[in-house]
A and B are shown apart, each in its own frame.
Chain A
Amino acid sequence: GQNIDQPTEMTATEGAIVQINCTYQTSGFNGLFWYQQHAGEAPTFLSYNVLDGLEEKGRFSSFLSRSKGYSYLLLKELQMKDSASYLCAVRPVGKLQFGAGTQVVVTP
């Protein structure tokens, strides 16, 4: 089966950096995804890692270690609009399996 763990909530101030960790145990691995979801809206794609290492995309970066079953999403220069739930998802085969999400609260 699949087990994906991420913290429930994190709080940070505007302009700061926040790192959201995700650990997973899956039967099979074909990529790890991060999604952002604002309340009442659809999840939107942020990043994809299939090989070990860091992927950088503007203010957002994502890291993967397959041997450790570990990923993190790094949000830099936080803005108020970054307040949202961040979902870690693993694709064993075909379908995505999601964690419960980390609610990030950005304060002024």
Chain B
Amino acid sequence: GAGVSQSPRYKVAKRGQDVALRCDPISGHVSLFWYQQALGQGPEFLTYFQNEAQLDKSGLPSDRFFAERPEGSVSTLKIQRTQQEDSAVYLCASSLASSSGGYTFGSGTRLTVV
């Protein structure tokens, strides 16, 4: 597609519920990134894929967070047993492998855990 597409745009989850957030990157973009952004803060790195390989998951805050990109295109970020502190905007970005032009971000999924 023309841009990075994320769904759902908004998600309200009850504490303890599992959620799955989807990212559809720009066609042909090899690299895909997930970020978490709290209100008034900059995006915080979660994890990074190159094609289907997860090269860096050092930013995932706990083992309740899991990301996959099985065919090297669409990616899913799953959060198990959601907690209130998981409430944030989850941003996905993609780029060409050797891009110097920055990453293209999706509009994000705003997750609210109640």
A contact residues vs B (CB 8 Å cutoff): 4, 31, 33, 35, 41-45, 48, 50, 87, 89, 94-101
Contact = CB atoms under 8 A, between A and B. Distances in A.
Contacts, number: 53
B1 interface: no
Interface of B: 4, 31, 33, 35, 40-45, 48, 50, 55-56, 91, 93, 100-108
A42 B42 contact: no
A25 B4 CA distance: 30
A42 B102 contact: no
Contacts of B35: 98
Contacts of B4: 42
B102 A99 contact: no
A95 B104 contact: no
Q: Which 6 A-B pairs have the closest CB atoms?
A: A45-B102, A98-B42, A42-B105, A100-B42, A42-B107, A101-B42
B103 A45 contact: yes
Contacts of A89: 42
Contacts of A87: 42-43
B45 A97 contact: yes
A94 B100 CA distance: 11
A34 B104 CA distance: 12
B9 to A, nearest CB: 10
Contacts of A45: 101-104
Contacts of B102: 33, 35, 45, 48
A43 B107 CA distance: 8
B108 A42 contact: yes
B89 to A, nearest CB: 9
A85 B56 CA distance: 27
